[in-house]
Chains A and B, each alone.
Chain A
Amino acid sequence: MYSMSIFYDAIAIALRSLAISGLATLLASTWCVPIAVKLSGTRSRVGKAILGILNASIGLPTVIVGLVLYLFLSRAGPLGFLRLLYTPYAIVIGQSILVTPLLTFLMADSLSHLKDTILELAYSLGATRRQAILTLLRESLPHIISSMLVSFNRAVGELGVALMLGGNIRGLTRVMTTAIALEVEKGEFELALTLGGFLLLTTSFITLLIRALRWRK
């Protein structure tokens, strides 16, 4: 018998997932946006090399990111004193690092088409450096948002970081992917399937949003 309590559990877990991955994407944007502005359309060798490295790390296995961060955040690790391991914050930080290459690369790529034209236009009308960059960001807003949505999708669907840094603690760090893994292992498929449905809904909805944005601009 499918009970409503499973449904409510699933809702709570899904909301936590959305919050954690949403925060992770926003956090990552605080450094990815400036880096992307700097690197997009770069002609310098160092800049191109960094872009190459970012591009190559887009597919970084999530367990690797999880493992490295685990070593940093664990009791004995250099950041152990922060006591972040097995808290939602650890997942937020971990996912924000996980999506950094993807987010930066996507934004840098889409900014590069507009950068020269828009900066030149802004300067031709008397903008300061700051104003010109704000104008560029405003013009690229649909691209920036769609890059963020793609990154959010990657974060919300990943398992490695959430499991290793969050620990799948009920009511605290249990997110959709970790809960699905646990429930399947226990042989209990109801919650797993419900969450699977939610996860699929989330990512499909985001994908639709991205397409709508592409279509609009």
Chain B
Amino acid sequence: MIKLINVSFSYGEKNVLEDINLVFDKGVTVVLGPNGSGKTTLLKVAAGLYKPSRGKVLIGGVNIWDSPPETTIPIRRKIVYVHEKPILLRGTVLYNVSYGLKLRGSDTESSRRKAMEILRRFGIEDLAYRNSRELSTGQAQLVSIARALAVSPQYLLLDEPTSNLDKNRRAILEETIRNLSDTIVVVATHDRLFAEKFPRKIVRLENGKIVDRA
């Protein structure tokens, strides 16, 4: 479980999150809100990528900004955040999807096998040996989601995962998320249709404040 206690965040002078108290628990939580309301920032703070300017972030009960790396690395390795604008590394699609597994010390062979399996699930195994720079935006988004799923994270934070996906790929993603029964999933999205596909909790953000929960 991810717990945010009195969390505020600012970029320099600009306050973007204000006094957020929130728990992300088993199942799917959808974060809604207009452009610039702070969804991306909230997810990055919850993923332990951005340090809050005030308040605490507890992941599995551990305060990740107040513990030594020996404690936080294993915890950080259970969380994956997927950027809304896909960021791919130089090299093939297969290299990208295996990247997270390699970070965790998997050997080349087994990480490739796992990566191929995920690519197949998304129906993009034919992209495996393509250069990551030569993908369409939607393909890049799929690859970055596949890369996250490859490490079987316990916490999966998806930022606008459907913004470039076609109907079929949305359905596959939907199905995949539904099957992640032991995973804590957080999705920031504008895509109401997609959000409505899950039994879910909703958090609505406006100007960096939570205005509604359901």
Contacts and interface: CB of A to CB of B under 8 A. Distances in A.
B147 A125 contact: yes
B49 interface: yes
B89 A135 contact: yes
B46 to A, nearest CB: 12
A126 to B, nearest CB: 4
Contacts of B210: none
B197 interface: no
A217 B83 CA distance: 22
> Most chain-B Cβ atoms within 10 A of its Cβ — which of A118, A123, A138?
A123
Contacts of A123: 49, 76
Interface in A192-212: none
> Most chain-B Cβ atoms within 10 A of its Cβ — which of A117, A126, A138?
A126
A131 interface: yes
Given A120-B49, A121-B83, A126 B90 contact: no
B69 interface: yes
A121 B148 CA distance: 11
> Majority SS of interface residues in chain B?
mixed
Contacts of A131: 103
> Most chain-B Cβ atoms within 10 A of its Cβ — which of A120, A125, A131?
A125
Interface string B144-155: 000110010000
Interface string B72-98: 010011111111000101100000000
Contacts of B208: none
Contacts of B104: 126
> Majority SS of interface residues in chain A?
helix
Given A131-B103, A139-B90, A124 B69 contact: no
Nearest to B104: A126
B80 A125 contact: yes
Interface in A163-217: 217
A138 B88 CA distance: 13
B99 interface: yes
A42 interface: no
B38 interface: no
Nearest to B148: A125
Contacts of B33: none
Q: How large is the interface on A (under 10, 10 to 19, 20 to 34, 35 or more residues)?
A: 10 to 19
A127 interface: yes
Contact of B100 (A125, A128, A129, A141): A125
B47 interface: yes
Contact of B87 (A117, A128, A129, A141): A117
Contacts of A120: 49, 83, 87
Interface string B19-53: 00000000000000000000000000001010000
A117 B104 CA distance: 20
A141 B83 CA distance: 23
Contacts of B81: 124
A155 B188 CA distance: 52
B151 A125 contact: yes
Contact of B103 (A125, A129, A141, A217): A125
A124 B90 contact: no
> Most chain-B Cβ atoms within 10 A of its Cβ — which of A118, A124, A138?
A124
B49 A126 contact: no
Contacts of A127: 103
A128 B73 contact: yes
A44 to B, nearest CB: 15
Interface string A99-117: 0000000000000000001
Contacts of A139: 89-90
Given A126-B79, A217-B90, 20 more contacts: A118-B89, A120-B49, A120-B87, A121-B87, A122-B103, A124-B81, A124-B82, A125-B100, A126-B73, A126-B100, A126-B104, A126-B151, A127-B103, A128-B69, A131-B103, A135-B89, A138-B90, A139-B89, A139-B90, A141-B90
Interface of B: 47, 49, 69, 73, 76-83, 87, 89-90, 99-100, 103-104, 147-148, 151
